[in-house]
Amino acid sequence: MSILPVSALSGVTGSSSVTTAGSGAVASTGGSGFAASLAGAIDNVQQLQSTANDLAVKAVTGNLDDIATATVAATRAQVTTELVAAVRNDGINAFTKIMEMPA
């Protein structure tokens, strides 16, 4: 079983460190990998929210034949937003704990 990068799970572009179970290999990208992944996730959230908003307007005006499309898009945008917020919060918590460590 291997651990997939966040980009493979949610369509986020950018590089990240990945450890493959059993091989012990780690692909290191330096400090920019997390920043690029987070920026890609934010861009993805903005795109999903824009799509959901467009479909919601079409649904309200009667220009959308399948309401399920708008519902799925809105739910996908909401779940992705919650995921990015949770990653951000965990990152902030980790940074806070590191800063509280004695030198």
Residue 5: inside a domain: no
The type of residue at 86 is A
Distance CA 3, CA 29 (A): 16
Res 10: pLDDT: 46
Domain residue limits at 79: 31-100
State the Rg of the chain over Cα: 18
Residue 83: inside a domain: yes
Res 92: pLDDT: 93
C-alpha torsion angle, residues 11, 12, 14, 20 (rounded to 10)? -60
Residue 70: inside a domain: yes
Q: What is the pLDDT of residues 14-51, one digit of tens each?
A: 433 433 344 444 455 566 787 888 888 889 999 999 99
Res 32: pLDDT: 79
User: For residue 53, what are the CA distances in angstroms to 25, 44, 71?
Assistant: 42, 14, 11
Residue 55: inside a domain: yes
Residue 1: inside a domain: no
Residue 14: inside a domain: no
Q: What is the number of structural domains in the chain?
A: 1
Handedness of CA 90, 13, 78, 18 (dihedral sign): negative
